Amino acid sequence: MNIIGQLILAYVAVLGFGLIINIPHQALNLAGWIGTLTWGSYLIVQAFDGGVVFGSLIGSVGIGVLSSMAARYKKMPAIIFNIPSLVSFVPGSQAYQMVRNFALGNYRQAVGFTLQLVMITGAIALGFLLAELLNRLIAFCTLRWRLAHPDR
């Protein structure tokens, strides 16, 4: 599938999941754009042979930072933007293959998929941690700048 198609489907997936979990309608479009932008960053990492794990890390950092900005802009909790935007990054195919191979008795393949699953989910969690650190750094720098320039 081409890149434009993937970005369109990422937007539609975020909107659809946002409707399923009943996020406020004012947040749907912005959540869709966050999901689309971060999926685009994932695709860029993939284009440069960065791997699925590093792409998931970069995407989750983007989701965390952009969701925090959107939360301040819309005056809503950041989780409203985090959860729907994360749908594209969930390693569902690896989880399916892991369970399937365990059920079929292909334990070596199942362990391989288990390791992939652990690395991807760990990268997503680490990405949210790094995003929180970035958000605090941005807030600290903004506060310092405002204190240094009170006339602006």
Q: What is the DSSP string of 7-41?
A: HHHHHHHHHHHHHHTT--HHHHHHHHHHHHHHHHH
Q: What is the pLDDT of residues 45-90, one digit of tens each?
A: 999 998 999 999 999 999 999 999 999 999 999 999 999 999 999 9
Q: What is the mean pLDDT of residues 108-117?
A: 96
* Position 1 pLDDT exceeds 80: no
- Taking CA atoms, 55 is separated from 47, 94, 110, in Å, by 10, 15, 22
Amino acid at 52: V
* Stated pTM of the model: 0.89
